[in-house]
Structure 1
């Protein structure tokens, strides 16, 4: 059985949702028969490449909040992440265009290192003082994940490399009706939106394995906040 997960490195609920899914998968009796594939989705595709801004400033501008309110949103996410055993920095994080991260994740998938790179990129973005929007940092993460440095550098230097694969993933998400990420598709039959509790994923896997209809958990499609999902931009749903 294949599980496909649409996510973005800039989405904190994708970071948390991955950890929760993995806990749910670990409790699934047939876990060795599950193939997990991560698909690309950009929450902010219009963000200028090569430019970054503090996350709290981005959140305040995007949702019409004050900086203190935006910081409160981040603190809520941090508490949730910590409850899952994840490190999370509220201050000092950057927001930027994630297209190059996604392109490199497709290279990693082709080399069998996708999960390793994704874990490193999530950790760098949410828990460390390393910006994944710096090409040299991204290259270092690729090498740390086991990719060939020269090949990864070549991909990063060529904006067309794996660009079609990223766009194809995003088109598929729209066709499947994704309204929020993380978005989980089990065996191309059942969909789950948001970073649901681990036990929800375990039940969904069990029901999908048995071939019975899965009742989709309530989709949280508002913002990166208590709803435990990140809203898909309107234009991406068209």
Structure 2
């Protein structure tokens, strides 16, 4: 059984969720059941600066207030910190509790991804434990690569320090963040088993019952799953994210009509009208009776200020499909 935890290393609930998941998995019902726990990235504060700032100063920034509410909907950052501190103590995390820095977690997520790539789920879990302990218990700055290097060494991932000084994991982490968004992950932590998700650091008994029910996720070819995620991002009004996921498909399957149509829609939605027009003209040339492609081409030409060129395409689309009239 694979359990995914989509979480941010700077979210206190993620650390509490880790403890509660461990307690849930300690239930005798799971004895002998092979379980793999994999950490996936989520950002509650994507605007955190590359250079960390003291948290007390950062909390005065309204943008930080808004970001931290993603970690605890309905609570102010102050209320959340007080509640998390009490619960963390009850879960045995401590003795001291409290982050000291507003730190970007991007490199921490890279470190976790690389740990999984080099040593699997067990090493990744050890790194996750030490990263969150450094942030919440030791008050260390996990936005500093020197801190992460020390954390990696403590976890048995000595190669992590050198890898962080390269661009290793950059693209993969950014793609995983987009995939999480496409799959509907909106809070930290979110535990996923198969096609089922449990949002928040729920009590251990709730997590145990959730895991016991299992979950099946249909295995699809990587290309098909990537296309579906790209389409989901477009539906979630993130055309630029959609294009990031589409890029490998455009490189490898640039003649595939489904790939080209989704790219055209994303170009149009992101106001890349020149690229949208070129792609749609190709699609219309290949399949003149595609009413949607003609309609979108006409709308693209309109937005480019080419009303006369747009009319024939819009008229033909309306004649073929009345909903475009």
Q: Does the alignment reach a TM-score above 0.5?
A: yes
User: For each residue in 1:22-51, what CA deviation from the matched residue of structure 2 results, as whole angstroms up to 9, or x when unmatched?
Assistant: 111111523532111111112222222123
TM-score (norm 2): 0.58
Consecutive unaligned residues of structure 2, counting only runs of 5 or more, are 67-75, 217-236, 243-325
Partner of 2:3: 3
Corresponding residue of 2:26: 26
Distance 1:59 1:162 in 2: 32
- Indicate conservation of the 8 Å contact 2:101/2:140, yes or no: no
Aligned position for 1:101: 108
Deviations 1:162-200 (A, max 9, x none): 0122112211211111121101110x2211000000001
Cα separation, partners in 2 of 1:91 and 1:142, compared to 1, 3 Å: closer
Q: Which has the higher contact order (CA 8 A, sep 6+)?
A: 1
* Alignment check: 8 A CA contact 2:55 2:100 kept: yes
SS in 1 for 2:214: helix
- Structure 1 residues 92, 200: CA separation in 2 closer, same or farther (over 3 Å shift)? closer
- Which SS does the other structure have where 1:37 is aligned? strand
The structure in which a higher percent of residues are helix is 2
Whether the aligned pair in 2 keeps the contact of 1:81 and 1:88 (CA below 8 Å) is no
> Aligned-residue CA RMSD in angstroms?
2.6
Aligned partner (choices 153, 156, 161) of residue 153 of structure 1: 161
State the match for 2:323 in structure 1: none
With 77-86 and 130-139 compared, the bigger mean Cα shift is at 130-139
Q: Which residue of 1 aligns with 2:128?
A: 118
Query: Residue in 2 aligned with 1:54?
Result: 55
Structure 1 residue ranges without an equivalent (≥5)? 212-233
Work out the CA distance in 2 between the residues paired with 1:19 and 1:56. Answer: 29
- Is 1:15 paired with 2:15? yes
Give the distance between the partners of 2:188 and 2:142, measured in 1 at CA: 19
Please give the secondary structure, in 1, of the residue aligned with 2:213. Answer: helix
Which residue is 1:166 aligned to?
173
Change (3 A) 1:91 1:85: closer
1:136 maps onto 2:132 in alignment: no
Determine which structure has the larger strand proportion and give its number: 1
Alpha-carbon deviation of 1:153? Answer: 2.7
Distance 1:70 1:191 in 2: 25
